[in-house]
Chain A
Amino acid sequence: MVSEDVLKTHLQELRRGTVVVASLVALRRPDYGYALLQRLTDHGFPVDANTLYPLLRRLEDQGLLTSEWNTEESRPRKFYRTSDEGESMLERLLGDLAAVQTSITGLIQGVDR
């Protein structure tokens, strides 16, 4: 029986990079922090609020997201959207993710490349 703690650590490691990919995909449609968090959770990417909010700022600093304040609703909210730069980065990342999946499948089937 594998220890729950060990399993949790490995799952965390496995999931770590996918939050960035998921956010860049999800923000092709502009959204604000908490709404994005809920969308990601609904689509099977549970992410902690204290991870996601700082991550959005970092992606913005890296030029992968652009942001805009929306003051029309009940409270002012900062909406993020995937930039052109973010889009080209996302294509590379998705390509790599697919490559990982292919490699794993190949490995499982014992097929030489």
Chain B
Amino acid sequence: MNTLTDRYLAATLRSVPTPRREEIASELRASIEDMIEDRAGSGQDATVAEREVLTELGNPDLLAARYADRRLQLIGPTYYLVWLRLLKLLLSLVPAIVGTVVAVVDVADGKGFGAIGSGIGVAIQVALQIAFWLTLTFALIERFKPISGLPDWTVDQLPDVPAHRNISLVDTIASVVMLVATIGYLPLQHFQSWVHEPDGGNIPILDPTLWSFWLPALIVVLLATAVFEIVKYRIGHWSWRLFGVKAVLSLAFSLPLIWLALSDRLLNPALGDRLSWLAEGDNRNTLGAVIAVGTAVILVWDLIDTTTKTRRQVAGA
């Protein structure tokens, strides 16, 4: 015998606890036959009736779960919030710490910039491990061991109302990362620019003589800007005083850059020996002008944008 009913019963009973299997089987078979008989009695074809009855009873795994009073959820409402809070807490701390430690160790091993990659890789792996094991633990607790004495929620746990912020953390982090990357690029291009001399030596993109004053000065300005971004985030909104500092910092970075670009002191003269198009005609001056104009456009746009934000937030305060 291998009718649809037999197959349905087998599929259902597979996941019902053994001691009750026999009895449930006989009862369920009788019920199914009753239902089919009832439909067939009103003139329906027996095969069609069987299909309809089994369809009505639905997925056998679901039916079995109801018989066994089994939960069809990984983590139920009792533990979900505790699970979520632990997950957030662990993910916000552990991967970053482990990743940083690995990166620092790699740097100490002399791996240079590759250390950032291995740090990020380890951090991702740690995050996956934490998420998996924590979820597994809670899924098991959900099934086997009811925990008593979970701390009850109290009003004391209410977090402070967040300060009224017009400056988002994401923007601040993005700005600081960009600034740090720019600061990092300046020495990097000196030693590793991917433009090489015929004998394999490295040709810096920027004129090495700038290191005597201008590049260190620009790095100081960039560092000051990074500090400014963090201070601005702590304050939480634009004010005209902040706008003034921001304008000074922007000018202190952009004006020297424009001046250097226009007077052809920015790019390394040795570049022309390797990149022949740079040596042709006016190309060198044109490139300098493009850099100068680009910097000026960004400067003006940034100042206008900041003015708008400051005016709106000072008015709204």
- Residues of A whose CB lies within 8 Å of any CB of B are 32-35, 38, 48-51, 53-55, 57-58, 75-78
A57 touches B31 (CB 8 A): no
Q: Which residues of B contact A35 (CB under 8 A)?
A: 34
Nearest chain B residue, comparing its CB with the CB of A56:
B27
8 residue pairs, one from A and one from B, having the closest CB atoms: A54-B66, A34-B34, A33-B31, A54-B67, A78-B27, A50-B57, A50-B63, A50-B58
A75 touches B66 (CB 8 A): no
- Given the known A-B contacts A49-B31, A76-B26, are A34 and B38 also in contact in the complex, defined by CB atoms under 8 Å? yes
Residues of chain B whose beta carbon lies under 8 Å from any beta carbon of chain A: 20, 23-24, 26-28, 30-31, 33-35, 38, 56-58, 62-63, 66-67, 69
Given A54-B67, A57-B67, answer yes or no on A33-B58 (Cβ-Cβ < 8 Å).
Answer: no
| Alpha-carbon separation in the docked complex, A95 to B24 (Å) | 33
Other-chain residue from B30, B38, B62, B69 in contact with A77 (beta carbon distance below 8 A): B30
Q: Which residue of A lies closest to B24 (CB)?
A: A57
A50 close to B66 (CB less than 8 A): yes
Assembly CA distance A76 to B30 (angstroms): 7
C-alpha spacing A75/B38, complex, angstroms: 14
Given known A49-B56, A53-B28, contact A33–B34 (CB-CB < 8 A): yes
**If the complex has contacts A50-B57, A58-B69, A75-B33, are A33 and B27 also in contact, measured as CB distance less than 8 A?**
yes
Nearest-neighbor residue (CB-CB) of B31 within chain A:
A33
Majority DSSP secondary structure for residues of A touching B: helix
In contact, A34 and B67 (Cβ under 8 angstroms): no
Write the chain B residue with the least CB distance to A57: B67
In the complex, the answer to whether A34 meets B35 with C-beta atoms within 8 Å is: yes
Residues of B within 8 A of A53 (CB): 27-28, 31, 63, 67
Q: State the CA gap A48–B269 with chains docked (Å).
A: 85
Question: Distance (Å) between the CB of A106 and the closest chain B CB?
Answer: 32
CA distance A83 to B24 in the complex (A): 20
How many angstroms between the C-alpha atoms of A35 and B28 in the bound complex? 13
- The 18 sampled A-B contact pairs (Cβ below 8 Å) are A33-B30, A33-B31, A34-B34, A34-B38, A35-B34, A49-B56, A50-B57, A50-B58, A53-B28, A54-B63, A55-B66, A57-B24, A57-B67, A58-B69, A75-B34, A76-B30, A77-B27, A78-B30
Query: Contact check: which of B28, B30, B57 meets A75 at CB < 8 Å?
Result: B30
A53 to B66, CA, bound (A): 9
Name the residue on B nearest A58 (C-beta). Answer: B69
In the complex, chain A residues whose CB is within 8 Å of the CB of B33: 75
Question: In the assembled complex, which residues on chain B have CB atoms less than 8 Å from the CB atom of A49?
Answer: 31, 35, 56-57
Chain B residues contacting A32 (CB-CB under 8 Å) are: 30-31, 34
> A32-B31, A34-B38, A57-B20 given. 7 additional CB < 8 A pairs?
A33-B27, A34-B35, A50-B63, A53-B28, A54-B66, A54-B67, A75-B34
- Provide the residues of chain B in CB contact with A33, threshold 8 Å: 27, 30-31, 34
A78 to B26, CA, bound (A): 9
Hey, which chain B residues are within 8 Å of A54, CB to CB? 63, 66-67, 69
Q: Once the chains are docked, how many angstroms separate the CA of A10 from the CA of B20?
A: 34
In the complex, which of the residues A35, A58, A77 has the most CB atoms of chain B within 10 Å of its own CB atom?
A77
